[in-house]
Structure 1
Amino acid sequence: MGRGDLTDAEWARLEPHLPKNVGRGGRWRDHRVVISGILFRQRTGTPWRDLPTRFGKWKTVHDRHRRWSADGTWDRILRAVQADADTEGRIDWSVVSVDSTVCRVHQHAAGARHRSAPVPGCRRRPVQHRPDEAMGRSRGGLTTKIHLTSDGGCRPLSILITPGQWGDAPHLIPVLERIRVPRPTGGHPRTRPGHLCGDKAYSSRRNRCYLRRRHIQHTIPERRDQRANRQRRGSRGGRPAGFDRALYTRRNEVERTINALKGFRAVATRYDKRAFVFHGTVAVAAIRLWIR
């Protein structure tokens, strides 16, 4: 077993949730060897073609990761290991934190492009990046943003991939609605945290109304311009938002979760051209954090 490969304890938690060798064609190569190869690439950021030969053919490892990213297998495995952790009481639902982080897009990942309409007076059509590939352009170049929520144990509960220049507040509701931890004993999946912490980037009337409607207590500081606007309106501006400074200090848990995810170099820098493949890359890193 090489450094970073799946240990026996991790494999025991992961194996029951993997797809079986059924269907047309030949049998799949051993899942443990292939997943260890995927994790090697996640940890080192090496090109697929440069994988060590002990993992088998590089194309077998690459194709399985791409296939499982496309059909949602990685997401299903992530929910399954979360369900196991919830059954064992290892998920801290008391305080869930939300935040986002920006990842640089490597130049080799900037190939999923489309040609836009011709510009009058220009001989060539400008080449733009596809809007559905979660790539945004800013001063630093192409970037992708990862929105996520984490439990008190510094492990991701939900993941959302968007272009890097998109704001945080409009994506609070989508990333919260992706929290779905199944209950093996039956019943609806767990979707509601006990308390939510977020920075002032998530402060908006729409988000606060949504959280009140779902009966989710929250600690989100009010932005200065929003506070001034509320005070200017007097009694019509409503009451000030509650803020618990002691609970707000636990927002460092999502920051530590981001640091753990970016310990995988293929997450810190996006090498995948397609958004669904990069989403699978982040999901694999999240699965590794849950089964440790």
Structure 2
Amino acid sequence: MLRLMLRDDQWERLAPLVRGKAGDRGRSGIDNRLFIEAVLWIARTGSPWRDLPSEFGNWNSIYVRFARWSNKDVWHAIFAVLREDADVEEVSIDSTVIRAHQHAAGAAKKKGEQALGRSRGGFGTKIHACVEGLGQLARFVLTGGQVHDSTQAETLLKEIEPQAVLADKAYDTNALLDCIAGKNAKAVIPPKANRKEQREFDQHQYRNRNLVERFFAHIKQFRRIATRYDKLASRFASFVALAASALWLK
């Protein structure tokens, strides 16, 4: 018997956000709930598409539909709606390196961005995340594993107006501090040891930064996130958006 993820109340919240429902233009989707469960099964187990249980339907048809939704940013649109309840008064930013499986390499550049690179952690992708005050994902960016954390911070904060931004000392750059000050927000970032002029930071509030570390631990329970198997960044980003959406539904 299949182990499914969505409760009835969760599906009721998700159903209006998917494509192919009654009233949408074009052909209606065949059993949207079972399709979402199939993609969640892949995300949770990390299995190859060909190993999808037959109870979900033809694996290739489900993959093609997943890819089509990915190309049309449907997964990101679902995530965008669910994150509208985010409490961004205090946000934490950080990144985590996702090791890439050998099958993730080799996509033709013309097919799209890959967001892969080598760092001390090996060959992989970085998820740069902004987590809201209750520990849920508010925004994320994918880059190659070699990209420095601080380079993506302003992008993560671009559409957010927090009162405080928490981050580790890797984010202690003048550009980011100016960005946070420009938002009239408080920078809760420890200074680097090599700063000529050391500055104060709220060590008590800094303890709340553990929310972003706990978020990474939660989302990596989806094995398709813990290891990257997808050749294209857009496909992997779709799984991140789906997994984050599932966490928002809990």
Tell me which of 86, 99, 106 is aligned to 2:101. 106
User: In the alignment, what sits opposite 1:19?
Assistant: 19
Q: Does the CA contact (< 8 Å) of 2:112 and 2:232 recur in 1?
A: no
- TM-score, normalised to structure 2, is 0.93
User: In the alignment, what sits opposite 2:59?
Assistant: 58
- Post-superposition offset of 1:131: 9.5
Distance 1:2 1:176 in 2: 40
Distance 2:92 2:120 in 1: 28
Q: Does the CA contact (< 8 Å) of 2:149 and 2:171 recur in 1?
A: yes
Mapping of 1:242-253 within 5 angstroms? 242-253=200-211
- Post-superposition offset of 1:23: 4.4
User: In the alignment, what sits opposite 2:153?
Assistant: 172
Q: Does the CA contact (< 8 Å) of 1:43 and 1:266 recur in 2?
A: yes
Distance 2:200 2:59 in 1: 53
Larger Rg: 1
Distance 1:149 1:168 in 2: 12
- Post-superposition offset of 1:140: 4.8
Q: Does the CA contact (< 8 Å) of 1:35 and 1:61 recur in 2?
A: no
User: In the alignment, what sits opposite 1:40?
Assistant: 41
Distance 1:60 1:5 in 2: 21
- The alignment partner of 2:113 has SS state of helix
User: In the alignment, what sits opposite 2:116?
Assistant: 135
Deviates more, 1:50-59 or 1:74-83: 74-83
Distance 1:242 1:20 in 2: 53
Distance 1:49 1:261 in 2: 23
Aligned Cα root-mean-square deviation (Å): 2.0
- Post-superposition offset of 1:160: 0.4
User: In the alignment, what sits opposite 1:254?
Assistant: 212
Please state if 1:155 is matched with 2:136. Answer: yes
Identity fraction in percent:
39
Q: Does the CA contact (< 8 Å) of 2:219 and 2:243 recur in 1?
A: yes
The letter for the 1-side match of 2:32 is H
Distance 1:252 1:167 in 2: 20
Distance 2:240 2:67 in 1: 13
Please state if 1:92 is matched with 2:92. Answer: no
Distance 1:139 1:78 in 2: 31
- The alignment partner of 1:35 has SS state of helix
User: Which structure 1 residue ranges, 5 or more long, are not aligned?
Assistant: 115-129, 180-190, 231-239
